[in-house]
């Protein structure tokens, strides 16, 4: 039986995937360090950002889907943030059990403090990079993300 061989693009995407995994690990470490003084971790920051940047209040399940993570993990973090008064739940008129997550005034103040740390950090990280090249990288990542979402949806829904 012949050994499977990558196409040129398949090999390149494999290398990109490995680089993204390595980048993710470094981002988590850097993020933990950046927001530690605010009592956050990268995971909590990520959830807080998802809530802050959502177009409207959404459920935990919606945030998990958008972030590409498991609902249970996001639920645990949201529950911690609720205990600390950073977020609150409010009724969802479209789903009785899936409450909507809102950021409290304490949460908004915390997110503003995070942004005050993140902006100079990311500007330094981006120094010397060309916006057009960043846009190309984002486009490729978005295409791969879309293909993976379609693949996952096809399996989840029997397609």
pLDDT tens digits, one per residue of 11-30? 999 999 999 999 999 999 99
Report angle CA 92, 107, 145 to the nearest 5 degrees.
Answer: 70
pTM of the model: 0.88
Whole-angstrom CA distances from 150 to 69, 70, 116, 142 are: 15, 17, 36, 12
Per-residue pLDDT averaged across 32-55, rounded?
Answer: 97
Whole-angstrom CA distances from 137 to 47, 94, 131, 144 are: 24, 37, 10, 11
Which residues lie closer than 8 Å to 93 by C-beta, 6 or more apart? none
Q: What is the pLDDT of residue 38?
A: 98
pLDDT tens digits, one per residue of 91-137? 999 888 899 999 999 999 999 999 999 999 999 999 999 999 999 99
Q: What is the pLDDT of residue 158?
A: 58
Per-residue pLDDT averaged across 33-53, rounded?
Answer: 97
Per-residue pLDDT averaged across 34-60, rounded?
Answer: 97
d(CA 35, CA 44): 10
d(CA 7, CA 5): 6
Whole-angstrom CA distances from 67 to 47, 91, 106, 115 are: 8, 22, 23, 19
Using a pLDDT cut of 70, give the percent of the chain over it. 96
Residue 54 exposed, middle or buried by CB count within 10 Å (0-12, 13-18, 19+): middle
Q: What is the pLDDT of residue 90?
A: 96
Local structure of 90: helix, strand or coil: strand
Whole-angstrom CA distances from 26 to 14, 16, 39, 58, 88 are: 19, 15, 19, 29, 31
d(CA 30, CA 54): 24
Tell whether the model's pLDDT for residue 157 goes beyond 70. no
Q: What is the pLDDT of residue 159?
A: 54
* H or E element in which residue 59 lies: strand 58-59
Using a pLDDT cut of 90, give the percent of the chain over it. 89
């Amino acid at each position: 039986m012949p050994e499977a061989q990558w196409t040129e693009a398949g090999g390149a995407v494999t290398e990109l995937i490995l680089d993204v995994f390595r980048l993710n690990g470094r981002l988590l470490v850097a993020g933990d360090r950046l927001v530690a003084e605010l009592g956050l971790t990268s995971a909590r920051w990520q959830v807080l950002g998802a809530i802050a940047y959502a177009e409207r209040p959404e459920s935990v399940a919606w945030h998990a889907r958008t972030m590409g993570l498991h609902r249970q993990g996001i639920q645990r973090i949201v529950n911690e943030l609720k205990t600390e008064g950073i977020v609150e739940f409010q009724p969802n008129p479209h789903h009785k059990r899936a409450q909507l997550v809102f950021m409290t005034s304490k949460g908004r103040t915390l997110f503003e403090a995070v942004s005050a740390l993140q902006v100079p950090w990311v500007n330094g990280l981006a120094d010397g990079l060309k916006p057009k090249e960043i846009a190309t990288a984002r486009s490729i990542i978005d295409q791969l993300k879309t293909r993976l979402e379609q693949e996952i949806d096809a399996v989840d829904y029997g397609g």
